[in-house]
Amino acid sequence: MASIKHKLNSREPLFSFEFFPPKTEKGEAAMRESLRELVPLKPSFVSVTYGAGGSTREKTRRIVKSIQDEHCLDVVAHITCYGHTYDDIRRLLAEYREAGISNFLALRGDPPREEANWRLTDNGPQHAIELVKMCKEMGDVSVGVAAFPDKHPEAPDLQTDLKFLKEKVEAGADFVITQLFFDNDRYFHLVHHAREEGVSVPIIPGIMPITKVGQIEKFLELSACSIPKKLVAHLEEHGHDEQRVQEIGLAYCASQCVDLLRRGAPGIHFYTLNQSRACHTVYAALHAMGMWRR
């Protein structure tokens, strides 16, 4: 399987899709169906999350391996610090190496839902940078890290956040994927200041189409991102009409992607929430039209 870092130099944009390990067999069947639909569209890679609190270690590993083997897609395995000792991480990375997985997204991780704050495990890593270093010690691997257009909720300001982003890149991160956002100017603001700080690796925007009005509150709470007031008002105005809300969400997402690509973003990372039909639709449309070409 290809190392993602070799794809980063391509002249064509990268398109990637993020899945999470489903809790039920039905959920897993739906995810597999989504993956089957994705294969002909040849995404650059798919990524699989690591459950909050490190709760899906085995499942994430099994799904990553099966996507690589059964669907022949390049896969990025998310790994997180939360709830793990250094030895746990070493074992996990050794298992991935054994399975032929060489692409990782190194993250601090979120605490489980029932815990309000992030908690450090004895003899365990505290920040994503430590995982970047541990991955890089394995040799020829590609490692991505996270960045936050609306700044990380715990960071005092964007500048502090960017100082740590730079350290992650200096430690060996090959690419960056952003938290989801709905205002492209936030993304370009982040990129501009990251470049000023000396971060030169690709910063891939993370995007998600809104398909239900109920998602708005959730996004604001989960990712601390802002949604343009006009978009919220438009969605709420049609909140009674599910089909219309989906159309608005898809149209907004497609125009957001076109603007990002035309203004030089290196690709799009779609947060699918395992409901990838909406993301497929946007991706297929962009792909068919080559809409990023200037």
Ligand X SMILES: Cc1cc2nc3c(=O)[nH]c(=O)nc-3n(C[C@H](O)[C@H](O)[C@H](O)COP(=O)(O)OP(=O)(O)OC[C@H]3O[C@@H](n4cnc5c(N)ncnc54)[C@H](O)[C@@H]3O)c2cc1C
Footprint on this chain of ligand X (rule: CB under 6 A) = 49-50, 52, 78, 80, 105, 107-110, 127-129, 146, 152, 154-155, 160-161, 164, 177, 179, 206
Tell the smallest beta-carbon distance from residue 105 to ligand X (Å). Answer: 6
Q: What count of residues does the chain have?
A: 294
18 among known catalytic residues: yes
Q: Cα angle vertex 81, ends 189, 143, to 5°?
A: 55
Q: Are 250 and 282 in contact (CB under 8 A)?
A: yes
Tell the smallest beta-carbon distance from residue 76 to ligand X (Å). Answer: 10
Residue with Cβ nearer ligand X (194 or 235): 194
Element (H, E) at 34: helix 25-38
Q: Are 96 and 138 in contact (CB under 8 A)?
A: no
Catalytic choice (12, 18, 221, 247) = 18
- Tokens encoding 147: 């960045």
Tell the smallest beta-carbon distance from residue 222 to ligand X (Å). Answer: 9
Q: Are 199 and 170 in contact (CB under 8 A)?
A: no
Tell the smallest beta-carbon distance from residue 68 to ligand X (Å). Answer: 17
What is each CA distance from 188 to 148, 168, 193, 259, in whole angstroms?
12, 20, 9, 11
Instruction: Specify the residue for token string 């839902």.
Output: 113
Tell the smallest beta-carbon distance from residue 208 to ligand X (Å). Answer: 11
Distance CA 56, CA 48 (A): 10
Residue with Cβ nearer ligand X (207 or 248): 207
- Burial of 150-189, coded b for 16+ CB within 10 Å and e otherwise, reads bbbeeeeebeebbebbbbbbebbbbbbbbbbbbbbebbbe
Residue with Cβ nearer ligand X (170 or 237): 170
Residue with Cβ nearer ligand X (71 or 166): 166
Residue with Cβ nearer ligand X (252 or 271): 271
DSSP character at residue 120? P
Which amino acids are annotated catalytic?
Answer: 18
